[in-house]
Structure 1
């Protein structure tokens, strides 16, 4: 086969398919422009320009939605002759159809109402969080949940509304399977955390105590990204309020969150966001703008960031390798590699803030959110009930009652932004990351020794070959089976955390 230009996949024997793909690519390019506007809003827009930028983004979002839901796109989908297509081309059609049908099912008036409500809710959420007053946000949360129920009913009136919303972020993964996995995690993680709480083992927890210059942390981050293999010719790093990765295989930017009084944020965010960026940078360039050149849903996307964060960045081997780099930029850190490792991974069962939580209890923080979100969509609770239900569930899962709503249900922007159904992807990402890491260890000789020596290339290449190069060619269950030989299972995750923290705390 002859080589194709960077953004030109092979043509089909079906002209309708080629027209469909060209139209879809134009929409993908507009969505990438939308991400550039978002990046600029995070990094450069002056305070006085925020209102105008919000209107610009809203206008562009409306244009994209209308074109993605246009009946002309549906007509092209119906006209395509699948019998003339290759397997890869059929995958493009499958994914375009899936997204088109979701978009087209939602009435424009509902979409507009939801967009306007989210804009208002975001302002209310910011004020509620700043003042630690959940009351300010209650009515907006009720409105968003009601509108999301209407959206789910428009997409599939016969399905579980929460499952329909969840499918936006984890296509082809049924919510019943997720709930079985989550129930098992809750049953097994809660007693493990309690055993750790009762442990007499003393770990080093203060190796990162102190104040650390942001510029020095940023320099250390850039060196870590260098070591991992981040492609600076197709990337950029900046400091932003919350860690984020935006972009595509030609331009993928990392936003790093840092705090001079909390060094834990730097390495965890840097390694996590690198995993997101690597996925995008290793997508096939020749399929840019098509499903074959796009990530396979946020569930798989979260597994890629988590694999690097937890199975590389939270390993003792990594800290043995990276300690000299950290100390070079932050000489006040004097502990051994083991001290740094223990300070980074030790369990903090009484931490109320998800963003400061350790690797183990972080899952329970997410499960609290999933349970409450599920109850809101089902109508079992209302927004006014959330703070009390939040405290009750934290007491059940983590053994304490958090006081602050600003560090609890108001901590993250998900509900204000209408991202109802996203939270499960975080825990699913951890579960899948561990299953993938087990498969990588089978295929890569001396996996842990390579981490100790800073040889990250074999893992990068394994992920490219097994996952990244396929884009959306396979559905999520198909991809998992191809890479691991099994269905999605919590077995590997539970074995991993049980072994890791049993050893660490001499349980």
Structure 2
């Protein structure tokens, strides 16, 4: 991959070089902020927040000023009328999109949103601790109003929620996303009901016991070794809420350990590996430009879900990895691979908490949030009515009703950040993961034997070739079509879960 050689001698190479230098400066400032954010989550002293907030604010301002400067706009205009290579044109397209959005919103509104979200987090946290939605409601109402205004500045003729959704997934239209979510709702609800009525008795206590943190960390490193994590460009740490971050030269994984939840630490580590593995697969030569950045949230989530669910929750994986786990934890000696597989895939139809949900019910948690925030932004739902509507939807879709707002509409941090439109990308990622896995099997053959033997090189190579190496060269739908031969579809995900859980729970075909 090259970014400095246009297809035609007529292309303004000096102009593009100047433009690329500016783009890389913006990226380097953002990446530096990312390291500071990682440090804040992982190792920063408790009282370091005041200085860190100023540091991050300064870097954010520098990045914004570089992007929205008149010089950036002038370079974009000149390059858009020039003859460029496909890769150069992709860089210009991606920067143009960011430039237009950031210059459309008045700085005063940007600052007001920033200030409101900064104050919203402690208010949300306290409201959750006190189970007091009314205390958070005025702040939520203010955030809804501000984000509506933000969306109107970007595109006054568009559905405001679609504008907000496109902050996180710019190249999948809302109609497509909504269609996928509606199909998941309509087909998963009866499947989960059937599982609830099943007499199948899964082995659910395979990982019962107490497991020391140090031993869990050693096993997490074993997991990462087995998956092929590049330790020369990464590291493992712990964080209250696991995440991965970085660049193709430094992609870090965090996980968490709870003494009574060994399985949770394993699946969390595999999930974050999927994110980091995508980042590490981005082309080195694209660093600092969109060609060296992950496509968007749905594609990123597809990589974590593919590794967590299609690999880490598969029967062949436990046939291969359980002996490794037994070496760290002799108490697992009596656990069979089948018992481990069943424990990793049990369905909890009475669970109220999204982050603790299983592979099936998780998507109904997402659908509920999507439907509520869409109606909030449109004005069809008043903030004061959120708890009741939330509880009604949980009862309708999952057959359970939250007894408190803390375990209901206050459980997630996203709305306190003003992140309306984020939730759908989680389910879109799972849907895409199944589509990619099916395409990989079509190209490579049945992957079960490779997983059973601990040989994941072919699968990882396929992902590198089809997804990782392209960065943001293609739009999301174009990338999906190149890799799978079809647009985003829920077909493969639904076939996957119906087959898998039909077998596990002895459901009639």
Relative to the length of structure 2, the TM-score reads 0.96
What residue number does 2:240 align with? 241
TM-aligned CA distance change 1:60 to 1:382, over 3 Å: farther
Residue 20, structure 1, aligned to residue 14, structure 2? no
- 1:169-201: CA deviations, max 9, x gaps? 111111011111111111110010000001011
TM-aligned CA distance change 1:503 to 1:51, over 3 Å: same
What residue number does 1:192 align with? 191
Supply the distance in 1 between the matched residues of 2:235 and 2:128 (Cα, whole angstroms): 30
- 1:483-506: CA deviations, max 9, x gaps? 111111111111111111111000
Supply the distance in 1 between the matched residues of 2:82 and 2:3 (Cα, whole angstroms): 18
In the TM superposition, residue 453 of structure 1 has moved relative to its aligned partner by 0.8
The answer as to whether partners of 1:307 and 1:433 remain within 8 angstroms in 2 is: yes
Residue 441, structure 1, aligned to residue 441, structure 2? yes
Supply the distance in 1 between the matched residues of 2:277 and 2:101 (Cα, whole angstroms): 28
TM-aligned CA distance change 1:457 to 1:385, over 3 Å: same
Aligned-partner SS, 1:246: strand
In the TM superposition, residue 154 of structure 1 has moved relative to its aligned partner by 0.6
What residue number does 1:326 align with? 325
Aligned-partner SS, 1:332: helix
The answer as to whether partners of 2:4 and 2:17 remain within 8 angstroms in 1 is: no
TM-aligned CA distance change 1:472 to 1:144, over 3 Å: same
What residue number does 2:72 align with? 73
What residue number does 2:352 align with? 352
What residue number does 1:455 align with? 455
In the TM superposition, residue 404 of structure 1 has moved relative to its aligned partner by 3.2
The answer as to whether partners of 2:3 and 2:88 remain within 8 angstroms in 1 is: no
Supply the distance in 2 between the matched residues of 1:101 and 1:396 (Cα, whole angstroms): 41
- 1:51-78: CA deviations, max 9, x gaps? 3222322232232223222232111100
Supply the distance in 2 between the matched residues of 1:422 and 1:467 (Cα, whole angstroms): 22
Kindly report the root-mean-square deviation, in angstroms, between the aligned alpha carbons of the 2 structures: 1.4
In the TM superposition, residue 371 of structure 1 has moved relative to its aligned partner by 1.0
| Residues 157-196 of structure 1 aligned to structure 2 (within 5 Å) | 157-196=156-195
Aligned-partner SS, 2:458: helix
The answer as to whether partners of 1:132 and 1:405 remain within 8 angstroms in 2 is: yes
What residue number does 1:10 align with? 4
Supply the distance in 1 between the matched residues of 2:126 and 2:54 (Cα, whole angstroms): 20
Supply the distance in 2 between the matched residues of 1:174 and 1:9 (Cα, whole angstroms): 29
The answer as to whether partners of 1:129 and 1:406 remain within 8 angstroms in 2 is: yes
For structure 1, which segment, 76-85 or 144-153, has the greater mean C-alpha deviation from structure 2 after superposition? 76-85
Aligned-partner SS, 1:295: coil
What residue number does 2:87 align with? 88
What residue number does 2:122 align with? 123
What residue number does 1:485 align with? 485
What residue number does 1:384 align with? 384
TM-aligned CA distance change 1:55 to 1:133, over 3 Å: farther
Supply the distance in 1 between the matched residues of 2:93 and 2:321 (Cα, whole angstroms): 43
Residue 99, structure 1, aligned to residue 93, structure 2? no
TM-aligned CA distance change 1:415 to 1:229, over 3 Å: same
What residue number does 2:369 align with? 369
What residue number does 2:48 align with? 49
The answer as to whether partners of 2:300 and 2:429 remain within 8 angstroms in 1 is: yes
Aligned-partner SS, 1:432: helix
Residue 474, structure 1, aligned to residue 474, structure 2? yes
Supply the distance in 2 between the matched residues of 1:257 and 1:97 (Cα, whole angstroms): 39
What residue number does 2:339 align with? 339
- 1:195-228: CA deviations, max 9, x gaps? 0001011010111112221121111011110111
Supply the distance in 2 between the matched residues of 1:259 and 1:130 (Cα, whole angstroms): 21
Aligned-partner SS, 1:151: helix
Supply the distance in 1 between the matched residues of 2:341 and 2:279 (Cα, whole angstroms): 29
- 1:205-263: CA deviations, max 9, x gaps? 11111222112111101111011111111111100001101100011111112222222
Supply the distance in 2 between the matched residues of 1:413 and 1:55 (Cα, whole angstroms): 22
| Residues 312-323 of structure 1 aligned to structure 2 (within 5 Å) | 312-323=311-322
TM-aligned CA distance change 1:215 to 1:292, over 3 Å: same
The alignment covers a number of residue pairs equal to 501
The answer as to whether partners of 2:22 and 2:66 remain within 8 angstroms in 1 is: no
In the TM superposition, residue 81 of structure 1 has moved relative to its aligned partner by 5.3
| Residues 157-306 of structure 1 aligned to structure 2 (within 5 Å) | 157-306=156-305
The answer as to whether partners of 1:82 and 1:90 remain within 8 angstroms in 2 is: no
Structure 2 regions of 5+ residues with no counterpart? none
| Residues 130-141 of structure 1 aligned to structure 2 (within 5 Å) | 130-141=129-140
- 1:265-308: CA deviations, max 9, x gaps? 21211111111001100100011010111111111111111111
Aligned-partner SS, 1:45: coil
The answer as to whether partners of 1:134 and 1:410 remain within 8 angstroms in 2 is: yes
In the TM superposition, residue 314 of structure 1 has moved relative to its aligned partner by 1.0
